């Protein structure tokens, strides 16, 4: 249908002009979830010298088999002082430096010890049970790339490379505003015709999971003065993004258009060829990106997944910003699709190692319970032809 913007084009416009936020340094202890602004180069070599990977005896392979005197001991952090002379063995433990002169480790299970003497039955291959210096990483070598998000394993690596502080991008500061005369905050008794606002909490949680700082601005009624005041507050606070939810009806759109015009900017609205999802609104208020999401809870969530998520990751400096699509098999047959890209709420099952995605029978974009129960979105391209159960489909997994 003419006039509907494809999802990819709308995303490109949402991301237009958006780049990683400035760099700051944070202590490694506070860096969980932060995104590296430059590659981290190792400050040391690991292991720092050849080390034993087992408990046993350090030997010269060429001396064996033999019964040898134990001439000393090497433990982790307590190296054997001096050089090993030929015809001796050194008691050694995991993580201990290999004494000079030794070229193999024999595990303790394979020897018999009697007082100060130890008997080796076989000749080991040189290098046996030795971790070579630099096996893991070497000083000066880049080990973590710019744009990587620090998570437990990468934090461990950064710490092992002896970085006490790391360069990261500033977190996106995101304000969230709910618009609608019908909304009340959770925990409040709704009046006649009112409902409890739920979008803002989901959006704030998404923002935090993407490494942003979320500020809830509460609910404003569908009035120009109230909406304008909230936008001005957000600008004054220096937020990077203001996400609004609601206001997708025609009159309310005019309201948002007015608000943006009052702020001296050009509003851009797209009717996006997707379902769920109504018009998406984007405006750049010199520094503050205003992203207007539809009010329907499922549309709000799916649009946040497709547009807000990538924008947050781009600002946060991530090098992977698009939602990951995987393939699965359809659990049931589907009719041919119309001109809109569908995001069907679905469950996932593992049938003999094969991932099967089954859409819920009712896909109403107001149904928060179905959204909460869903494990994935099935992505159906515009004009996809009818598909039978078992045919392949693309999915986006929803975080558990
Ligand atoms: P709108 O986009 O304002 O036309 O809203 C579409 C639908 O979503 C209406 O049924 C609204 O009541 C509902 N809605 C709007 N905002 C929220 C919200 N923050 N939480 C839950 N439902 C909402
Ligand atoms: Mg509304």
- Check whether 9 has a pLDDT greater than 70: yes
Atom of ligand 1 minimally distant from the CA of 219: 19
Q: Which residues contact 221 (CB under 8 A, 6 or more apart)?
A: 179, 180, 181
- Give me the residues near ligand 2 (ion), CB cutoff below 5 Å: 180, 246, 295
| pTM of this structure | 0.92
Output the domain CATH number for residue 96: 2.170.190.11
Q: What is the CA(118)–ligand 2 centre distance, in A?
A: 83
Q: How many CA atoms lie within 13 A of 94 on its CB side?
A: 5
* Atom 20 in ligand 1: residue holding the nearest Cα: 197
Phi–psi pair at 50, nearest 5 degrees:
-60, 135
- Quick one: pLDDT band at residue 317, thresholds 50, 70, 90? very high
Cα of 273 from ligand 2 centre, angstroms: 21
pLDDT value, residue 2: 58
pLDDT of 306 over the 70 cut: yes
User: b/e map of 152-188 (b: 16 or more CB within 10 Å)?
Assistant: eebbebbeebebeebbbbbbbbbbbbbbbebbbeeee
CATH (domain of 161): 3.90.105.10
Residues 296, 178 share a domain: yes
- Pocket probe for ligand 1: among 253, 295, 304, 367, the residue whose CB has the most ligand atoms within 8 Å is 295
230 shares its domain with 303:
yes
* C-beta of 195 in contact with ligand 1 (< 6 A): yes
3-class state of residue 250 by DSSP: helix
Q: Cα(247) to centroid of ligand 2, in Å? A: 4
Tell me how far apart the terminal alpha carbons of the chain are, to the nearest angstrom: 35
Confidence bin at 253 (pLDDT 50/70/90): confident
| CA 228 to ligand 1 center in whole angstroms | 19
2: in domain: no
- Condensed to tens digits (0 to 9), the pLDDT of residues 329-340 reads 999 999 999 999
Q: Tell whether the model's pLDDT for residue 1 goes beyond 80.
A: no
Confidence at residue 250, expressed as pLDDT on a 0 to 100 scale: 83
Model pLDDT for residues 148-176, shown as the tens digit of each residue: 999 999 999 999 999 999 999 999 999 99
| Residue 180 in domain | yes
The response to whether residue 255 sits with its C-beta less than 6 Å from ligand 1 reads no
**Shared domain check, 312 and 175:** yes
Structural domain tally of the chain?
4
Is residue 1 domain-resident? Answer: no
- Name the residue at shortest CA distance from atom 15 of ligand 1: 295
- Kindly state whether residue 245 falls inside one of the protein's structural domains: yes
Which tokens in the block code for residue 280?
């998406």
Residues 263 and 296 placed together within one structural domain of the fold: yes
Q: Which atom of ligand 1 is nearest to the CA of 198?
A: 20
Given a contact cutoff of 8 angstroms between Cβ atoms, the answer to whether 306 and 366 are in contact is no
Predicted confidence at residue 340, as pLDDT, reads: 96
Any ligand 1 atom below 6 A from CB of 194: no
* Final residue of a structural domain among 271, 297, 316: 316
Q: Which ligand is nearest to the CA of 292?
A: 1
Residue 198 Cβ inside 6 Å of ligand 1? The answer reads yes
What is the extent of the structural domain holding 361? 325-397
In the predicted model, what is the mean pLDDT of residues 171-184?
97
Q: Which helix (H) or strand (E) holds 343?
A: strand 341-351
CA angle in degrees (0–180, nearest 5) for 209-381-278: 60
Closest ligand 1 atom, CA of 178? 19
- Kindly report, residue by residue over 55-111, the tens digit of the pLDDT: 999 999 999 999 999 999 999 999 999 899 889 999 999 999 999 999 999 999 999
Mean pLDDT across the chain, nearest whole number? 96
Is residue 359 assigned to a domain? yes
The pLDDT of 248-274, averaged and rounded, is 90
**Percent above pLDDT 70 for the chain:** 100
Tokens of 343: 């995001």
- β-strands 173-179, 213-220: how paired? parallel
Is the CB of residue 227 below 6 angstroms from any atom belonging to ligand 1? no
Of the listed ligands, the closest to the CA of 371 is 1
Q: How far is the CA of 330 from the centre of ligand 2 (A)?
A: 35
In whole angstroms, what is the distance from residue 157 CA to residue 150 CA?
A: 10
């Amino acid at each position: 249908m003419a006039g509907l913007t494809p999802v990819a084009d709308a995303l490109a416009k949402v991301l237009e002009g958006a780049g990683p936020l400035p760099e700051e340094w944070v202590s490694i202890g506070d860096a969980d979830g932060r995104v590296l602004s430059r590659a981290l180069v190792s400050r040391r070599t690991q292991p720092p010298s050849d080390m034993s990977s087992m408990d046993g005896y350090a030997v010269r392979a060429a001396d064996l088999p033999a019964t040898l005197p134990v001439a000393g001991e090497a433990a982790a952090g307590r190296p054997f002082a001096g050089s090993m002379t030929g015809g001796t063995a050194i008691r050694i433990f995991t993580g201990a430096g290999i004494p000079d002169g030794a070229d193999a480790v024999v595990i303790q299970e394979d020897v018999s010890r009697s007082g100060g003497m130890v008997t080796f039955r076989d000749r080991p291959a040189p290098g046996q049970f030795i971790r070579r210096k630099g096996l893991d990483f070497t000083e000066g070598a880049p080990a973590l790339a710019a744009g990587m998000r620090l998570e437990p394993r990468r934090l461990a690596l950064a710490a092992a490379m002896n970085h006490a502080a790391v360069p990261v991008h500033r977190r996106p500061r995101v304000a969230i505003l709910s618009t609608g005369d019908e909304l009340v905050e959770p925990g409040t008794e709704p009046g006649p015709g009112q409902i409890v606002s739920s979008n803002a909490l989901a959006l704030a949680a998404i923002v935090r999971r993407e490494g942003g700082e979320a500020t809830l601005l509460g609910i404003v009624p569908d009035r120009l003065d109230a909406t304008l005041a909230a936008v001005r507050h957000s600008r004054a606070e220096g937020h990077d993004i203001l996400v609004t939810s609601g206001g997708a009806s025609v009159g309310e759109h005019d309201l948002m258009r007015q608000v943006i015009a009052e702020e001296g900017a050009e509003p851009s609205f797209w009717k996006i060829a997707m379902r769920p999802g109504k018009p998406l609104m984007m405006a750049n208020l010199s520094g503050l990106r205003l992203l207007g999401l539809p009010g329907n809870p499922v549309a709000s969530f799916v649009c946040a997944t497709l547009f807000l998520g990538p924008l947050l990751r781009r600002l946060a400096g991530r090098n992977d910003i698009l939602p990951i699509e995987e393939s699965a098999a359809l659990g049931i047959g589907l009719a041919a699709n119309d001109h809109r890209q569908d995001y069907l709420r679905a469950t996932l099952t593992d049938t003999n190692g094969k991932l099967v995605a089954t859409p819920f029978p009712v896909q109403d974009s107001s149904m928060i319970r179905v959204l909460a129960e869903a494990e994935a979105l099935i992505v159906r391209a515009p004009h996809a032809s009818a598909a039978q159960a078992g045919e392949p489909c693309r999915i986006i997994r929803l975080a558990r």
